[in-house]
Chains A and B, each alone.
Chain A
Amino acid sequence: MTKETEKKIDTAVEEAKVVTEKKEVDAEIQKKVDEVTTQKVRAMFKDNETMALTEAAIQNNEIVFEVEGKTYRVRKANYQEKQDANKYRMKIYIDLLRDKDCLLEKDLRKLYKDRGINIEDIDKQIMELSNQQQKLLFDLGKAIKDNKSKVELDKYKEEVVILMQSINGLSIEKQQLLEFSLENRVMMEVYSYLIWCVSEINIGGNKWQRIWATQTEFLSTTPDKLLTEVTKNATVLITEDLASNQSV
């Protein structure tokens, strides 16, 4: 074999290597693109599903769904159930108040302060950022009204987005710090109570009965597809009851 032939073979081998590597990189890129597309499609379906659920909730005050061939619904709590939920909330509140290991939000704030975490400072920061956000929104609104260029509008928008992200970050931080406050625990208990109240199974025709006969039965259920669906759908309908139950 001449030197020239050897050189040609080496070059061909190198080229083949490059082609193989390029193919591998392309395949990797394609894999990533597929993953992102799948995630986007999933998110879109999830969004559409949630939109349909909310639409049903505002129009009919109930959401009907099927799990493994059986029909279920969650509905808006009626007056009596709301009254019962309120009584339950008071009972839980008093029970937790007797528990010395359970701290009220104000005591928890004090405890954090002793540990060097000042939640009041977080509140102040949120307030300051919100004021800045309002000013920016006003300027952006004026720019929109004055038909300013898209580039200028988007500059404002980016600044608003940064502020919004900072506010959200601080709010989440505050929420996490206060997660184990007595008030929050009461809300979670009422949330669970209301879910049990409004979740029903169809027993033929237009007849419905509670999925779980007692709250204890509901609380001892092992998480499964039904519980996931019930929880997700019920949240849309009991949102307002939870919001109105936040303050004791």
Chain B
Amino acid sequence: MQGNQISIQQVYGILRKLAKTNKWQTLYAQSKEGCVNLFINIAAYTDLQVAFLQYCSFYNSLHTDIYMDEVSDIVLENEIYEDAYQTYKNKVKKNKHKMTTPQEQDRRKAKKKKETTVSNTHVVFSQNPIK
């Protein structure tokens, strides 16, 4: 019986190939807009479905970076390039986060909160509710 089975790695390899196809990238983008359902079930996703969504998201992110000229489309040439670029991107992001001190992070959060409050207030009053 063992000879007939497809290995777990094979299944995940296929999930990845499927997620990369134009068909599934389009469907994934549409599903994010709430236009289509990807699966027969709309809740209680299986692990297989969750893994598939993670791959879809991975390729969606690569396509976005290519569109934003962050990276050349050569990245899509093979899975090793794709993984390498993602590894580099994640590490750079992690290092950037590490480099900021906790005080700096608090200061940024406070600044962001203040900006949001001001802009919200600005929006409220710019509509001039008292006419």
Contacts and interface: CB of A to CB of B under 8 A. Distances in A.
A141 B89 contact: yes
Chain A: interface size category: 35 or more
Best-buried of A76, A141, A228, A235 by chain B (most CB within 10 Å)? A141
Contact of B74 (A51, A138, A144, A223): A144
B85 interface: yes
Contacts of B47: 239-240, 243-244
A141 B86 contact: yes
B24 to A, nearest CB: 9
Contact of A57 (B48, B74, B85): B48
A61 B41 contact: yes
Contact of B40 (A51, A60, A236): A60
Contacts of B5: 191, 231-232, 235
Interface string B60-91: 00000000001110110010110111111101
Nearest to A171: B9
A54 B74 contact: no
Contacts of B78: 157
Contacts of A142: 88
B4 A232 contact: yes
Chain B: interface size category: 35 or more
B1 interface: yes
Contact of B4 (A141, A231, A239): A231
Contacts of B17: 51
A137 B15 CA distance: 22
Contacts, number: 108
A231 B1 contact: yes
B4 A145 contact: no
B48 A58 contact: yes
Contacts of A150: 74
A83 to B, nearest CB: 15
B38 interface: yes
Interface string A169-194: 00000000000000000001001100
A55 interface: yes
B81 A54 contact: no
Given A140-B80, A160-B84, 18 more contacts: A51-B14, A54-B15, A58-B46, A59-B39, A61-B46, A140-B84, A141-B86, A144-B75, A144-B88, A161-B80, A195-B1, A227-B1, A232-B5, A235-B5, A235-B6, A235-B11, A237-B48, A242-B8
10 contacts: A54-B11, A55-B18, A137-B87, A140-B84, A140-B88, A141-B89, A153-B74, A160-B80, A192-B1, A235-B5
Interface of A: 50-51, 54-55, 57-61, 76, 134, 136-142, 144-145, 147, 150, 153, 156-157, 160-161, 188, 191-192, 195, 223, 227-228, 231-232, 235-237, 239-240, 242-244
